[in-house]
Amino acid sequence: MTKNTLTERVLDFLKNFPPFSMLSKNELQTICEQVQIYYFDKNDFCFTENEAAQDRFYIVHEGAIGLFRNVEKEMLIDICDEGDVFGLRPLINNEKYMMSAKAVEESIVYGIPIEVFKNIYDKNQKVSNYLISCFASNNNQPLHDTKHLSGFSTDDSPGFHDLQRVSFTKKPAQCSPETSIQDAALLMTRKKTGCLIVTENKKPIGIVTDRDIRTKVATGKFDSNCLVSAIMSSPVKTFSEDITVTEAQMAMLDHSIGHLCITKDGKSDSVVKGIISDRDLLVMQGNSPTVLVREIKRTDSVKSLKFIRENANQLLESYLNQNIPILLVSKIISEINDVITKRTIELALEDMKSSPPCTFVWLAIGSQGRQEQLLLTDQDHALIYENIEVARQDEVKNYFLKLAKKVSKSLNLIGFEYCGADMMASNPRWCLSIDEWEKQFTRWINEPGDEEIRLSSIFFDYRPVFGNNALSEQLTDCILGQLNKNQIFLTSLGNNTLRKPTPLGFFRQFLLEKNGEHKDTFDIKVRALMPLIDAARMIILDHGVRSFNNSIQRYEKLVELEPQNAELYSDCIEAFKVFLHYRTKQGLTNKDSGRFIKLESLSKADRIILKSSFQAISDIQELLKIRYNLYYY
């Protein structure tokens, strides 16, 4: 049977992007057979605002499609490039288009019939959940208003970005005008960048972008052996380091360009200092997790990661103000934190003098391990490396300790404080071979003193973030094997859970801190969140369930496993959401971890909501007492 070459090409493209990457090959094949291919010139419309929804949605194959509100005023909401889906929400919701889709450069787009996709979507819960998450996370705030270039926000108050200096890429990729186009393309690939500055004596004379290569070389106009000087854009628009976001936007719009060169004194006969792309400006608007994640993966600077993570806090605040479900918010912010951690490790590895001596896995523990780290809190992480021969043990451990110190230092610069208890992979205690980790957990489980239980409550919430996941799976196998029917350890865990201080006193007043720098504040982490976190961990471990680290997901699983206690576990879920929401709001308001709350900052309604949510803590602790015979405590 002859293969349809066009269908195969479409399939090879779609399988790399969600939600299509979540489909089986047969499901994807069915879709690809119905795909239509569209070519749009710059400024061509795919559809317009308030138009009745078509019978298909789109995914960008090449080029870029801008999503606009009120095209006459040029209010750009987002830019979709390779792999981005658009025009789907109106079809799912049976509504008109809320935005116009216009090509901002020559583009090739695949059109996918909604009926074909919906037949698959309705049966695929993973795809359904993904789309719900995407729809919830899109706040559709304008990126910039091309008619109103003041940079002010729509509420008529000065915006965060109005006079803010642009965070630009330092040490940009450069080449000489005598470089061949082929060598330039290879350099761009190696540096993971979309443009090169062409320089003479470190001074800019031109810029070459991946679009130049697509439109001038791939089309056959120039041979790849030609010099970059033949296809570069010149002269270069240069600016000084103190350029603001608004000035950068105006310059790009006025000159119809996507890159600005930063030089020592802002002039073209000055030494190159950096580069700003239109994507950098999109990131500074901070309106899209997709844009943030994309920029994290592309950045080669820890300082840029710091700036992106700060923008994630603005994203977080906008979600809370829109009452986006806290579980969805935590998933999105946790993904951003994970991608930042991965990129930080990659940059640290590039900075090491040699490759890793063996495979390893970086573990997030604590709140990041549970995917509950919404705010910039302290670091909690560990490292497992594979077993190696005795003669190389010191050499291998020293390598990973050095790597961990680089990563930890960078995370600190990004904004994640060092752990006060030194629960970090840079500590030799938490940078071990898989055999050493297994022995350590085995001892904690079988000899559960106070210290062992304390450490267990932190390290049992590990989750692999980077590296060889098989190592963490091996550790999980060991732990579950040791836990099987180990009543002594579970009893010790239960005692530790009940030691947490209660949130309310005898007369239902909030119990506040009695001394120290947080005197007269309410500790929502220790008194409200931790009792629910500890109880969920304990019961899920008793069931021998793996791959459920998030507290809400643990309780959801327990609803399924213990239908007789479904109401109690559902109450715990709702209470946890309330506590996490209040902690996050307090943290954003006070620019801290949100852990310690001043009661005067809470309204009467807030206090009532919190007090009513505390009942779930009492109920789950009562269940622990009965199930694990902890009444004597």
Lowest mean pLDDT across 169-178, 367-376, 444-453, 522-531: 367-376
Closest CA to 371 of 403, 405, 338, 400: 338
Which positions ≥6 away from 348 have C-beta within 8 Å? 403, 406, 407, 410
Residue 147 covered by a domain:
no
Mean pLDDT, rounded, for 284-303: 72
pLDDT at position 140 is 40
Is residue 454 domain-shared with residue 311, that is, in the same domain?
yes
Question: What's 310's domain CATH number?
Answer: 3.30.460.10
Residue 159 covered by a domain:
no
Closest CA to 560 of 540, 541, 579, 580: 540
Model confidence at 507, in pLDDT bands (50, 70, 90)?
Answer: low
Model confidence at 568, in pLDDT bands (50, 70, 90)?
Answer: very high
Question: Could you tell me whether strands 259-263 and 238-239 are parallel, antiparallel, or unpaired per DSSP bridges?
Answer: parallel
Q: How far is CA 593 from CA 341, 374, 581, in A?
A: 19, 9, 12
pLDDT at position 229 is 92
Q: Is the peptide bond before 204 cis (omega within 30 degrees of 0)?
A: no
Question: What's 223's domain CATH number?
Answer: 3.10.580.10
Residue 161 covered by a domain:
no
- Select from 264, 285, 306 the last residue of a domain: 285
Is residue 523 domain-shared with residue 604, that is, in the same domain?
yes
Lowest mean pLDDT across 117-126, 181-190, 380-389: 117-126
Is residue 451 domain-shared with residue 496, that is, in the same domain?
no
Residues 295/193, Cβ–Cβ less than 8 Å: no
Residues 456/493, Cβ–Cβ less than 8 Å: yes
Q: How far is CA 317 from CA 18, 143, 195, 320, 591, in A?
A: 26, 17, 33, 5, 12
Per-residue pLDDT at 1 exceeds 50:
no
Lowest mean pLDDT across 62-71, 249-258, 404-413, 456-465: 249-258
pLDDT at position 284 is 57
Is residue 328 domain-shared with residue 408, that is, in the same domain?
yes
Is residue 479 domain-shared with residue 583, that is, in the same domain?
no
Max Cα–Cα distance, the chain, nearest Å:
84
Give dist(CA 422, CA 429) in Å, integer: 9
Per-residue pLDDT at 319 exceeds 80:
no
pLDDT at position 7 is 85
- Say which residue, 141 or 573, is predicted with more confidence: 573
Is residue 360 domain-shared with residue 496, that is, in the same domain?
no
Range of the domain at 390: 289-483
Closest CA to 55 of 100, 85, 20, 90: 90
Q: How far is CA 557 from CA 93, 95, 460, 533, 614, in A?
A: 30, 35, 17, 14, 21
Residue 250 covered by a domain:
yes
Q: Scanning the structure block, which residue is given the tokens 């056959």?
A: 220
Question: Which pair of tokens denotes residue 576?
Answer: 């946890």
Is residue 180 domain-shared with residue 222, that is, in the same domain?
yes
DSSP character at residue 230 = G
Residues 28/11, Cβ–Cβ less than 8 Å: yes
| SS3 sequence of 385-401 | ECCCCHHHHHHHHHHHH
- Select from 285, 310, 337 the last residue of a domain: 285
What pLDDT digit, counting tens, does each position of 573-601 carry? 999 999 998 998 888 888 888 899 998 88
Cα 360-366-368 angle, rounded to 5 deg: 75
Backbone phi and psi for residue 344, each to the nearest 5 degrees, phi listed first = -65, -40
For residue 25, the one-letter residue type is K
pLDDT at position 211 is 82
Number of folded domains that form the chain: 4
Residue 466 covered by a domain:
yes
Per-residue pLDDT at 159 exceeds 50:
no
Question: Which pair of tokens denotes residue 274?
Answer: 């950096």
Residue 148 covered by a domain:
no
What pLDDT digit, counting tens, does each position of 331-361 carry? 888 888 899 999 999 999 999 989 999 999 9
Give dist(CA 568, CA 617) in Å, integer: 10
Question: What's 124's domain CATH number?
Answer: 2.60.120.10
Query: What strands lie across the sheet with 381-385, from one edge to the other?
Result: 431-433, 381-385, 360-364, 463-467
DSSP state letters, 340-382: HHHHHHHHHHHHSSS--SS-EEEEE-HHHHTT---S--B--EE
Backbone phi and psi for residue 450, each to the nearest 5 degrees, phi listed first = -60, -45
pLDDT at position 508 is 65
Residue 154 covered by a domain:
no
pLDDT at position 163 is 43
Is residue 30 domain-shared with residue 10, that is, in the same domain?
yes
Q: Is the dihedral of CA 483, 489, 495, 501 positive or negative?
A: negative
Arithmetic mean of pLDDT over the chain: 84
Is residue 495 domain-shared with residue 623, that is, in the same domain?
yes
pLDDT at position 143 is 35
Is residue 476 domain-shared with residue 492, that is, in the same domain?
no
Lowest mean pLDDT across 14-23, 158-167, 276-285: 158-167
pLDDT at position 151 is 27
Is residue 412 domain-shared with residue 474, that is, in the same domain?
yes
Is residue 277 domain-shared with residue 355, that is, in the same domain?
no
Residue 143 covered by a domain:
no
Residues of the chain with pLDDT > 90, as a percent, come to: 39
Partners of residue 109 on adjacent β-strands: 38, 60
pLDDT at position 631 is 65
CB atoms within 10 A of CB 516: 8
pLDDT at position 158 is 32
CB atoms within 10 A of CB 506: 7
Q: Which of 37-46, 73-82, 123-132, 136-145 is predicted most confidently? A: 37-46
Backbone phi and psi for residue 148, each to the nearest 5 degrees, phi listed first = -120, 90
Per-residue pLDDT at 138 exceeds 50:
no
- Select from 445, 466, 483 the last residue of a domain: 483
What pLDDT digit, counting tens, does each position of 624-633 carry? 999 988 866 4
Mean pLDDT, rounded, for 541-563: 92
